[in-house]
Amino acid sequence: MAIKTIKHALLTGFEPFGTPRPSENRSWEVVKQLAGKQIYTGDSLVVCHCYEIPVSYNPVSELIPQLHRSQEFSIVIHCGAGVPGMVRLEKLAHRSGYIKPGNGGESDVPAGGCVPGYDTADVLESTIAVDRLKDALVEKGWSNLAVSLDAGRYLCDFTYYTSLAEGATTYKRQKRQAPATLFVHVPPSCNDPYSDEELAKIVCAILRCVA
């Protein structure tokens, strides 16, 4: 089948965080497998652009808008380390409540505990029909999945909100369609319940579902 549409997907995972600092963050170990990949779905070709992002508020608040403005993305999937045993598809992102410091130490918190730079609602919802996506993935055999309404009020939630706010503001001003944007929490430990390779296949399945 001839390719009619080329779509670009922004995929991110995080650097290691915590004390003591681990050597890797599983979210990036999953995402980096897709760097430069081209995924065929129907008559579309999805080109993956993968980035490791910092666990620090100010750098994220600068980097995420820069990434959005570097390319016209149709799909954005941010990944982070979540809870054991379950892949969580996050439905909501929150503007306020950020008091846990990032990797930069005790001062690494956003002013007022809020995502800066946007006059948008306190809660933004994914531009993807998350419940329907979860059902589609389960039909494909990925059973350890859940829809979540709380992305954690840490860098995952902060990143997600920033991305959704970009879609609601910058893309709208430029008369561009906001990208289909989702945050996926992967279990933090290897092979729980899927291998890194299997988790990368789930991300690919998500791309195919929303492309």
Our measurement of the distance from residue 73's CA atom to the centroid of its chain's CA atoms, rounded to an integer in Å, reads 13
Determine which one of 48, 50, 79, 156 is catalytic.
156
Nearest to 135 by CA among 127, 123, 143: 143
Cβ within 8 Å of residue 39, ≥6 positions away? 45, 46, 48, 204, 207, 208, 211
Tell me whether residue 78 is one of the annotated catalytic residues: no
Q: What is the pLDDT of residue 1?
A: 56
Nearest to 7 by CA among 51, 78, 73: 73
Pairing of strands 38-41, 87-90: unpaired
**pTM, two decimal places:** 0.96
Q: Is 13 exposed, middle or buried (0-12, 13-18, 19+ CB in 10 A)?
A: buried
Residues paired with residue 185 on neighbouring β-strands, in sequence order: 80, 88
Nearest to 28 by CA among 154, 186, 195: 186
Determine which one of 49, 78, 94, 185 is catalytic.
185
Q: What is the pLDDT of residue 118?
A: 96
Tell me whether residue 90 is one of the annotated catalytic residues: yes
Tell me whether residue 68 is one of the annotated catalytic residues: no
Determine which one of 68, 78, 79, 90 is catalytic.
90
Q: What is the pLDDT along the chain (211 residues), one digit of tens a residue?
A: 578 899 999 999 999 998 889 999 999 999 999 999 999 998 899 999 999 999 999 999 999 999 999 999 999 999 999 999 999 999 999 999 999 999 999 999 999 999 999 999 999 999 999 999 999 999 999 999 999 999 999 999 999 999 999 999 999 999 999 999 999 999 998 888 999 999 999 999 999 999 9
